[in-house]
Structure 1
Amino acid sequence: MAQFKTALVLGATGLVGKALIRQLQNDPRYKQVTCLVRRPMPLSLVAHEQKKVNWLVINFDALQEYEGYFKVDHVYCCLGTTIQKAGSQEAFRKVDFEYVHVAAQLARAQRCKSFVWISSIGANAKSSNFYLRVKGELENAIMGMSQLKNASAVRPSLLLGERHENRPLEDIAQTIAPVLGMLLMGPLKKYRPVSAIEVAHKMIKLQVFDDD
């Protein structure tokens, strides 16, 4: 008989994170989902029907202190920011590389069955683009970790969905998404803007659900 799973989500308040929580809440395979967040959640986000979703406010600069919460079947890492929002390349790297890398290390220490995080299309440790270089360096760092079971990166292009912050490039993509969908064919299909719902669904599909 299949066993119910437990999950830990980092970055649950972002575009993909919110879509992911809704899907996990409705996924009968999960019995408990814990979300690590930076600040208390507004009631509009924490729905009353989310009986199996627990929210915990933590200090991400001291993520190691919360290692016990990583003792779950699956870890989903949706952490991410922009250089503009972070304020500097150093602050961006702290969120998009350091926090995610530490999360992967904690998942390994607690022997999670699988770890899935959000990277980016074009991620390359040798890229001249700082954003893509950081994403590529993170992929290399996590995939090179020994004894980390079933680590997988999702590489979306521009994300579609309703945001509560200003991201001009993604706002433009939302507007022209139907046209891009027709123009980006064949090998270019991977560059099509993708909905947060689709990315969240892909993350769930990458997790390991067998009972070995």
Structure 2
Amino acid sequence: MNITSVLHVGATGLVGRDVLARLLDDPRATRVVAPTRRPLSVAHPKLVNPVVDFDALPATADWWKVDAVICTLGTTMRQAGSREAFRRVDHAYPLQVARHAQAAGARVYALNSAAGADQRSRVFYSRVKGELERDLEAVGFESLVLVRPGLIGGERQEHRAGEAAASVVLRVLGPVLPRGWRINPATRVAAALVDATLAPQPGRQVVDAALLAG
């Protein structure tokens, strides 16, 4: 598959910022569409930045016409404030984007999912992630990439106390921990998403936390 145009949702997050920078720097991507709630501070000749309301995405907009999608949308229960709001951001939005883009011709979808994603999980977070993976498979992309990081390392714009504490512990214990339990640098997660999108393989691929470990 020849992939030259990519739609990227979630461009303002920790992983998303790095994904956007990589796409803009990579000569294989000649057009990058990054819909956001507010205008990005980035300017680039190949960047298209429609300002959107994710609760009312325009299904017939021309910018849906891309070869591939990278999704790094996501929140936390604390930020969302409720299970309903969390599910909307981490399931409804990514799935709606997938359906609109696939209907317009996209053949590849790469998702920043999570370690432990399982539609049968008793843990709400993991169950939502697993349900999204299941529902994306039903959309019918030629290539579906599921990147499943554990704890992601990097400089976030917002402070997450629990993740910060866990990061300190994992950095100390990292050398003796199994690779699947180590911190996954945001740069490695972003690289896995971009590389799998611009050089896609047919079918479903999973990139697990052990492969992303620092």
Alignment TM class, shorter chain as reference: 0.7 to 0.9
Distance 1:67 1:153 in 2: 26
Shift of 1:190: 1.8
What is residue 37 of structure 1 aligned with on the other side? 36
Shift of 1:39: 1.5
User: Aligned pair in 2 of structure 1 residues 3, 136: CA closer, same or farther (>3 Å)?
Assistant: closer
Q: What is the correspondence of 1:1-212 to structure 2 with a 5 Å cutoff?
A: 5-41=4-40, 43=41, 46=42, 48=43, 50-65=44-59, 67-145=61-139, 147-185=140-178, 189-209=179-199
User: Aligned pair in 2 of structure 1 residues 85, 16: CA closer, same or farther (>3 Å)?
Assistant: same
Contact 1:113/1:208 (8 A) holds in 2: no
Shift of 1:179: 2.4
Deviation by residue 1:102-140 (Cα, 9 ceiling, x = unmatched): 111112212212111111000111111110010011111
Shift of 1:4: 6.9
Unmatched 5+ stretches in structure 1? none
Deviation by residue 1:46-79 (Cα, 9 ceiling, x = unmatched): 1x5x332222210101124355322111111110
User: Aligned pair in 2 of structure 1 residues 106, 180: CA closer, same or farther (>3 Å)?
Assistant: farther
Identity %: 38
Return the letter of the residue paired with 2:132.
Answer: L
Unmatched 5+ stretches in structure 2? 201-214
Contact 1:9/1:34 (8 A) holds in 2: yes
Tell me the TM-score normalized by structure 1: 0.87
Tell me the TM-score normalized by structure 2: 0.86
Deviation by residue 1:136-189 (Cα, 9 ceiling, x = unmatched): 1111111133x322111110101111111121222123323432421322xxx2
SS of residue in 1 equivalent to 2:57: helix
SS of residue in 1 equivalent to 2:31: strand
Distance 1:66 1:201 in 2: 30
Contact 1:173/1:193 (8 A) holds in 2: no
SS of residue in 2 equivalent to 1:142: helix
| Count of residue pairs the alignment pairs up | 201
User: Aligned pair in 2 of structure 1 residues 183, 167: CA closer, same or farther (>3 Å)?
Assistant: same
Q: CA RMSD in A?
A: 2.1
